[in-house]
Structure 1
Amino acid sequence: MTRRATGTFTTVFDPLPIDDDAIGRMRVDKTIEGDLTGTGRAEMLSVGTPIDGSAGYVAIDRITGTLHGRSGSFVLQHYGLMDRGAGTLIVQVVPDSGTDELTGLVGTFQIDNSSEEHRYIFDYDLKVH
């Protein structure tokens, strides 16, 4: 049975060294509130293009906290593209990355940053193996 968690999060971006001027590398720290409470730490690679509105990013994001009363950690994989302003963003739980009470976690994490407040909708399930 799929469950839904919603809430907000804040981010802090810190540039990291990289030896390629065309690629950006960042550490991203998150504070998450709502049905999922906790923290996240990600490493992100991004690239822009000479065309306004075209870019891409990937990230691996380790989340530690409590999801609807269950404690543990899990990893999200981000894949984002902007094609002349038209965006695609896929953020999914890495299979078998859940720990403790979040073992077996699967799901999709939607991010809405259309306002100043970042919001999430996390549709998930806990699979028993």
Structure 2
Amino acid sequence: MATPASVTLAAVVAGAFAAALTASTPLLPHASIADAVNPGVSMNHQASGPFDVQLIPQKADNPYAEGAGIGRLALDKRFHGALEATSQGEMIAFRTSVANSAGYVALERVSGTLDGRKGSFVLQHSSIMNRGAATQDIRVVPDSGTDELAGLSGSMTITIAAGGAHAYAFDYDLP
């Protein structure tokens, strides 16, 4: 059973990433992952806009993860702009004892319309914060697109303004 400390840890890690991903913090793509996923491929389209997010700390269901300081959060998002969609998913995060150093991975299923095309797809996140410097890699899982979004590929960048407003920039390609 989870302790209040494990739920708090998840919230603290989420807050640490929110602080690191402000608009004034440069986001560094993980080039080796990007090149492995789409070597030499440039995306033909870009969608951008604001989004609302709710991060909900979850009780640890794995005593090994809880003992290691790993926290879980449920994701619930509403995208606006060229991507009009909702998403739900899960984040797993860890924060080190060094200030502003942490990591998280997440998966979320996005359902709605992208530039008027209806369907769903899955985003995979992998992010590291090294003493306040954030490196972010958010990619469409290959072959996860459905309906009019079948064949979708791309990557997303998230920024968080000083006041807490979230925004996305989504570079993508469709067949």
Q: Which TM-score band applies after superposition, normalised by the shorter structure?
A: over 0.9
Residue in structure 1 matching 2:100, options 24, 40, 53? 53
Larger radius of gyration: 2
Higher RCO (CA < 8 A, seq sep 6+): 2
Q: Which runs of 4+ in 1 moved over 6 A?
A: none
- TM-score (norm: length of structure 1): 0.95
The structural deviation recorded for 1:126 is 0.7
> CA offset at residue 33 of structure 1?
0.3
Identity %: 48
Match of 1:82, SS? strand
Identify the residue that residue 83 of structure 1 maps to in structure 2.
130
1:11 aligns with 2:59: no
For residues 1-129 of structure 1, the aligned pairs below 5 Å read: 2-18=44-60, 19=63, 20-21=66-67, 22-115=69-162, 116-127=164-175
Structure 1 position 14, deviation (Å): 1.3
Counterparts of 1:87 and 1:15, CA distance in 2: 22
Q: 1:75 Cα deviation (Å)?
A: 0.2
1:42 CA displacement:
1.3
The two structures have a TM-score, normalised by structure 2, of: 0.70
For 1:53 and 1:47, how far apart are their aligned partners in 2?
11
Following the alignment from structure 1 to structure 2, what is the Cα–Cα distance between the partners of residues 84 and 114?
19
| Unaligned segments of structure 2, at least 5 residues | 1-42
Q: Distance between the aligned counterparts of 2:166 and 2:119, measured in 1?
A: 23
The count of residues paired between Structure 1 and Structure 2 equals 127
Q: Which runs of 5+ in 1 are unaligned?
A: none
Letter in 1 for 2:142: P
Instruction: Give the structure with the larger strand fraction.
Output: 1
